[in-house]
A and B are shown apart, each in its own frame.
Chain A
Amino acid sequence: MASVPRSFLLLSIIPTILILCADFACCNTGRKTGDGLDTDFSGFSVPLEHSFQVDDVSRFRMRGALQLRGGRETSVSLSQSQLSEEDRNTLKEVAAVDGLYKIRVPRVSLTDRQTERQMDGYLTAFVRACSLVESHLSDVITLHTDVSGYLIGVSIVTIPGACRGTEVEDEVDLEAFNTTLTIIAPTNAPQPETALFIERMDIEHEKRGKPQEQKSFFAKYWYLILGGAIFLMASSSAQPSAGGAEEQQS
């Protein structure tokens, strides 16, 4: 109320940010990826819509446009408009009755642009309107893709995420979204680490010193056996002359 009234006709476009690259150029769409790169390098845009109503009936309206760029380096950026005063008031009302703030994006494929870009249906997510208000419209929107580049889900959270019931006095805080946008591709689950394990085993072996070669019994104790044999031979050859020895002694 204390805030300076602004003309809501003046819509300043605030481009918001973020590019996150994920390497998910995967084997089974490799060919198609190439085609997509050739034909449509500039990327494409899809609408990001939102809905917040006191009666919780979904009526989606335009919030902004997502600039998606498929290919090896997937990137996404968002350009969105400010909230009008009417919207701000509605949002506050929705927040007061613990309503939901929903967003949706159409199902698209980032790589396969030959086929119908827009498959039927939308991906929807929601956040409590009060947490959006209390976080001063700072939200984190995440787009999830599957292995072949289809968008499979969207999520929205606000930071902080809690509703503490604090009143947002300043209308300015509810004008512009402060959006962090990420796109996440699936991570590759690890395989059993056999190579590393074997390597480590080898290193350990080496650390313990040169492994003792498996010598045969004879190779190990040849000197003892030889000694024993000499001793036996000596004692047996000494036997016949035993009498003589005695004689010598006496």
Chain B
Amino acid sequence: MESLELATHVQRQQYVGKTLFAHFDSHSQSSKKLFLATDKNIFASFNSRTGDLFWRHVDKVGPEGTIDILLLHGQDALMVVGGGRLLRSWDTNMGGLNWEAVLDTGSFQAACFVAIQDTVKHVAVLKKAVISLHYLTNGHQKWVENLPDSDTVQYQAVYSGGEEEVYVLGVVPNSHLTIIAYSLEDGEIIKQRSVEAPWLSSVESSCVVIGQGVLMCVDPATLALYTLPIQAEEAPQFNQILLQSLDLEVSLGFQPVLVSSQPHPARSPISEFFLQLGPDHHVLLQLNADGYTIAALRDFQPAFLVSFATTGEKTVAAVMTPKNETACDINLFSADSGRRLLDTTVIFPLDLNGGKPFKLYVHAFLKKDDSVGYRVLVQTQDHALTFIQQPGRVVWTREEALADVVTMEMVDLPLTGTQAELEGEFGKKAAIQDGLFPMVLKRLSSQVILLQVWLAHLWKLFYEARQPHGQVKNEVTIETLSRDEFNLQKMMVMVTASGKLFGIDSKSGSILWKHYLENVQPNAVFKLIVQRTTAHFPHPPQCTLLIKDKDTGLASLHVFNPIFGRKSHIAPPALPRPILQSLLLPVIDQDYAKVLLLVDDQYKVTAFPSTKNVLQQLQEMASSIFFYLIRSDQGNLSGFRLRKDLSTERIWEVVLPTEVQKIVAVNGKRPNEHVHSQGRVMGDRSVLYKYLNPNLLAVVTESTDAHPERAFVGVFLVDGVTGRIIHEAVQRKARGPVHFVHSENWVVYEYWNTKSRRNEFSVLELFEGTELYNSTVFSSLDRPHLPQVLQQTYIFPSPITTMEATLTEKGITSRHLLVGLPSGAILSLPKMFLDPRRPEVVTEHSREENLIPYAPEMPIRTEWFINYNQTVARVKGIYTAPSGLESTCLVVAYGLDIYQTRVYPSKQFDVLKDDYDYVLISSVLLALFFATMISKRLAQVKLLNRAWR
């Protein structure tokens, strides 16, 4: 039963990131495998029929794990990792590591397979100053040679065409090209040539090898192609062919690109190649047998993408051409003639909310009738992968942008149509306009509608009950979305680093809408703000995404409906100046949208929405609107007050000298947090009141001095309105990264203890004392006494990657901390264990209060892992949201994977158990009811009889 329940609301989706290299398993005809290497340092294998993951290897984050190249040969996948640090061979069948070899130092340039007598036995790896040859079977180095003049010559390419030599191509930019041939046997330099090439700046970007070892280069300046036989014995010369002579013209400002294909490493490349002349202009060219004349086979314009594919002896070219606004055609052409192959058209649907096609990966195969069939993988700019099969069927799509979620929010789903109608009919406006009689009619009609809906619901239940369990489909679409009874199902709005937004159903994990924002810079910072929730029917909910360029600070706003993903027609304000801070005010305009204030670098304020109503409200409230700005580069925290003319005045300033410490993080409290109890009842029945300052900021600093003895972590609690430093604590001999949570009256932080070399948790709690200063309302301006601060520290036996606190509707349920561990586990740690009032010595009072005696080490109990065996790779953030049930908190963990679940910190105290005996209870109730009826009747008869007597 439990596992079944788990299956319904626990979801995990695994992602790999943006594809850098993709290969189809061409080892056998019926293979379903697809291999990807991604920018997230992941090597993965997919089932090409379903898009499901077979296996994936998650390597280290950062440059140490970057995949430089992925080569596939037979059952071996060769990979150079970490900028030329390691050479690895994987078994593609099972995904196991065959071997790993450590390479010599030096930055990676190129690698290729090397074959002798038609069998591929080696792999050559070219580095900045060295070339090495390794055996495919065990990774052992056959030979390694230093490259001559590597300080002046930039070696960029390595080529082998199945002969006895390996050729290395290097260039001295705008001077000459160097060709070195190494003997396969012992790495001896057989010949070394230098060719004048004053026009050439990079081999990598402008040259390819085609045909029988002919180097083909393109030069955008002279608008010419250059050919050069690599293997030539005597002093070779580049042969220039002007593009004009072929009737070809390069688009203005476009750097032409050459595309070639070497189907098998033991043979030389085909003599056909593509030349891209413009963003949508490709030409298929052929090098004639003489080796220096070129024939144009076919002109493709418009054509977005081209790719070669080989099966058996046939090489084909796949070309993607635009068809109309919403679709592209992909056709196959014979590579040696340029003729179109019949019945090879597939249609690639262009998603208007997605990115443009970016790359084609084609898998060609021979059909039974010896014609060529193919499947194609299309990568789009938004990192999505689409797999298409003939005849034009999209088999699957993977949204790999979700491997890098930056921020998210959960939005309540709208009410159903009927519920909404009820709300609307009895809304304020309606009541004023209508008289008594129409209102009665309306009420009656609504009741009829409700009855109708209820009957339909009953019928559906009855119908579904008769179906076998597995067949009931819970297809979620945008149309059928509606809030459930306990508001457990919500819309997750996710913002990814690539600039693609997603709306995901929290229950099923299915993507309901997506929207790709083009022109988002890679270093953009996002902030997602819910301006209007779903609660204000008929006004649609509204979210605003603030996209800020990290370097310039220039920002733009994207306003959208979080349920449907559609861009709102409300025009966001133009923001010509860099934005320092954005804040959401509790002020609402006449359409119930909260007001967003944007502060620019001249401390001027822009309001959004900025209707007359809003501006008027702002003017009235100006003197009570305070905000703070943090300049962590200057160690400066300052507070401002709004003036009536929407300018600001600086009212406080705190400066933490950057020579001593730097601000690493600042956190306020979550605005939607509710605290149920104002205080804690102590053992002697007195109450210790919590210091609940909604404006409190927790500022965490790290010392600039990194010496283990002198390093420290500073924790400042600053009132965001008055700038008053409420508490200032220094954790000595401590270093970051600091993870912390600030909520209610406590701050929990985790740091690295440099002296004891371990991770530690510390908790700070603030109390007003046994008497409240002003119990009715909290004002930062009127709280003269500082709170009492209690603090305790514990050893935590694991490093952590992220931390968040659970959140429930009314704040009655006890709190837990959700801790993401590097192992991918998510720990639900009861806050009870992080309580500075845990006594060293157990007393009567502490026992009365249920305080756990102090122990220096925080336990990790395996039953606290909320994701069991479903680890979340590289957890980056945890998002919590309250549900309609007080006991239940919705949790989403994101990183490489996305994991949704629910947690019940105080168990499900407000839910009846599944095995609750309804029959017994109702039969007892009924029996009692009848018993009362009968005994009443009997008593009446008896009374009557007595009266007669």
Residues in chain A within 8 A of chain B (CB atoms): 27-28, 56-58, 98, 100, 102, 104, 107, 119, 121-128, 131, 140, 142, 144, 146-148, 150, 152-153, 155, 157-163, 184-194, 196-197, 200
Contacts and interface: CB of A to CB of B under 8 A. Distances in A.
A189 B729 contact: yes
Given A146-B657, A152-B656, A192-B794, 12 more contacts: A27-B709, A28-B705, A98-B623, A124-B652, A146-B660, A146-B714, A153-B724, A155-B722, A160-B784, A189-B729, A189-B732, A194-B795
Interface string B849-872: 000001111000000000000000
A194 B840 CA distance: 11
Contacts of B725: 142, 144, 152-153, 155, 184
Nearest to A27: B710
B793 A190 contact: yes
B724 A123 contact: no
Contacts of B791: 189-190
Contacts, number: 143
A155 B774 CA distance: 20
A118 to B, nearest CB: 13
Contacts of B897: none
Contacts of B710: 27-28
B731 interface: yes
18 contacts: A56-B649, A104-B653, A124-B650, A125-B723, A126-B722, A127-B722, A144-B654, A146-B656, A152-B657, A157-B724, A161-B782, A187-B727, A187-B728, A189-B762, A190-B762, A192-B793, A193-B840, A200-B841
A32 to B, nearest CB: 12
B715 A155 contact: no
A27 B733 CA distance: 11
Nearest to B726: A155
A250 to B, nearest CB: 73
A194 B795 CA distance: 9
A124 B724 contact: no
Q: Lowest 6 A-B CB distances belong to which pairs?
A: A153-B654, A155-B724, A161-B782, A192-B856, A157-B784, A186-B728
Given A184-B728, A189-B731, A200-B840, A102 B651 contact: yes
Interface string B837-848: 000110000000
Contacts of B792: 190
Given A28-B710, A119-B657, A191 B793 contact: yes
A152 B722 contact: no
Contact of A125 (B705, B722, B855, B857): B722
B730 A192 contact: no
B781 interface: yes
Nearest to B650: A124
B856 A153 contact: no
B724 A122 contact: no
Nearest to A145: B728
B643 interface: yes
B712 interface: yes
A138 to B, nearest CB: 10
A193 B854 contact: yes
Contacts of B643: 56
Contacts of A57: 649
Nearest to B796: A192
B347 to A, nearest CB: 64
A127 B781 CA distance: 7
A123 B781 CA distance: 18
A75 B502 CA distance: 58
B653 A122 contact: yes
A146 B655 CA distance: 10
Interface of B: 623, 638, 641, 643, 649-657, 660-661, 703, 705, 709-710, 712, 714-715, 718, 722-725, 727-732, 753, 760, 762, 774, 781-784, 789, 791-795, 840-841, 854-857
Contacts of B656: 146, 152
Nearest to B761: A192
A98 to B, nearest CB: 6
B794 A121 contact: no
A76 B662 CA distance: 27
Contacts of B762: 189-190
A196 B840 contact: yes
A126 to B, nearest CB: 5
B654 A123 contact: yes
Contacts of A28: 705, 710
Contacts of A189: 715, 729-732, 762, 791, 793
B855 A197 contact: yes
A126 B730 contact: no
Nearest to A198: B856
A121 B658 CA distance: 14
Nearest to A107: B655
Contacts of B795: 192, 194
Contacts of B641: 100
B841 A152 contact: no
Contacts of B760: 191-192
Contacts of A140: 784
Contacts of A100: 641, 651
A122 B638 CA distance: 11
A50 to B, nearest CB: 13
Q: Most B CB atoms within 10 A — which of A98, A150, A153, A163?
A: A153
A207 to B, nearest CB: 12
A112 to B, nearest CB: 10
A62 to B, nearest CB: 19
Nearest to B653: A124
A91 B625 CA distance: 22
A18 to B, nearest CB: 15
A100 B856 CA distance: 47
Given A27-B710, A157-B724, A188-B729, A152 B783 contact: no
B633 to A, nearest CB: 14
Contacts of B789: 187
Contact of B657 (A142, A150, A159): A150
B652 A125 contact: yes
A162 B730 contact: no
Given A126-B652, A192-B794, A187 B660 contact: no
Contacts of A152: 654-657, 725
A249 B731 CA distance: 90
Nearest to A196: B840
Contacts of A27: 709-710
A102 to B, nearest CB: 7
B784 A144 contact: no
B654 A186 contact: no
A121 B655 contact: yes
B758 to A, nearest CB: 9
A158 B781 CA distance: 10
B482 to A, nearest CB: 48
Contacts of B724: 125, 142, 153, 155, 157
B784 A148 contact: no
A12 B841 CA distance: 56
A186 B712 CA distance: 12
A98 B661 CA distance: 37
A197 B795 CA distance: 13
Q: Most B CB atoms within 10 A — which of A162, A186, A188?
A: A186
Contacts of B657: 107, 119, 146, 148, 150, 152
A131 B782 contact: yes
A122 B841 CA distance: 47
Contacts of B793: 189-193
Nearest to B727: A187
